[in-house]
Amino acid sequence: MAKLFRAVIMGPPGSGKGTISERIAQRFGLTHLSSGDFVRENIAANTDAGVLAKTYIERGLLVPDHVMTRLLLPRLEEMTRHSWLMDGFPRTLAQAKALNSTCDLDLVISLNIPYETLKDRLSDRWIHPASGRVYNMGFNPPRVQGRDDISGEPLIHHDDDKPEALVARLRQYKDLAKPIINLYKSKGILHTFSGTDTDRIWPYINSLLSTKIPSTSQTDTQRIPMP
């Protein structure tokens, strides 16, 4: 069997983690794991961890580390036969250390996007809450305005994505991400990409991954929903 590939994508809110993760998943056959989607699935399924997580999300807070690690790490341990890309985790140094003790990461992508760009993108971000599908009125608009392409259900705009909330979210990201980025830098697995357009950053990420992911694993792996 080809060597498995494990990667993490980091970046501030609106930096394109979800958009780029989808492209990577399609191009390289990695399973895209999103911590936010996973939390939402647990909330919908009313699991103990989901019920607890909801109380934090409703207050606009991060879910505590012990809840996140309890939710995610057992799932990762089960994914022994799949290459994956994790989006949204780790968000704290404690989470990064817990992840370290579960698996050896091959690569970390860090997105470095100017504040003005984030502000513009998020003020135009529309989400289908049930699936987590994301649209942007200029960049990837839905086929029917205000409606999800697949389900036809209404799209929503999060209060969190308004410019007033963004400054605080960005500050929190910077504070929490700094030690994580330093950790991955010291391990020699950090790759940072800067710019204002996903379409311009993508070719660099694509060529980096082409050198790292053996071609056999690109065909051996398949996309599966998270167990």
Ligand X SMILES: Nc1nc2c(ncn2[C@@H]2O[C@H](COP(=O)(O)OP(=O)(O)O)[C@@H](O)[C@H]2O)c(=O)[nH]1
Ligand Y SMILES: Nc1ncnc2c1ncn2[C@@H]1O[C@H](COP(=O)(O)OP(=O)(O)OP(=O)(O)O)[C@@H](O)[C@H]1O
Give me the residues that bind ligand Y (CB under 6 A), please.
Answer: 13-14, 35-36, 39, 56-57, 62-63, 68, 88-89, 91, 95, 160
Upper half-sphere CA count for residue 226 (Cβ side, 13 Å) = 22
Q: Is 61 annotated as a binding residue?
A: yes
Q: Is 218 annotated as a binding residue?
A: no
Nearest to 116 by CA among 170, 191, 172: 170
Residues near ligand X (CB under 6 A), total: 19
Residue 125 found at the interface with ligand X (CB under 6 A): yes
Minimum distance, C-beta of residue 36 to ligand Y, in the bound complex (Å) = 2
Burial environment of residue 23 by CB neighbours within 10 A (0 to 12, 13 to 18, 19 or more) = middle
* Residues 17-46 as x/- pattern, contact with ligand X by CB under 6 A: xxx---------------------------
Upper half-sphere CA count for residue 119 (Cβ side, 13 Å) = 8
Instruction: Indicate the residue among 2 and 170 with the shorter CB distance to ligand X.
Output: 170
Phi, psi of 127 (to 5 degrees): -125, 145
Minimum distance, C-beta of residue 180 to ligand X, in the bound complex (Å) = 15
- Give, for 155, the enclosing helix (H) or strand (E): none
Q: Is 198 annotated as a binding residue?
A: yes
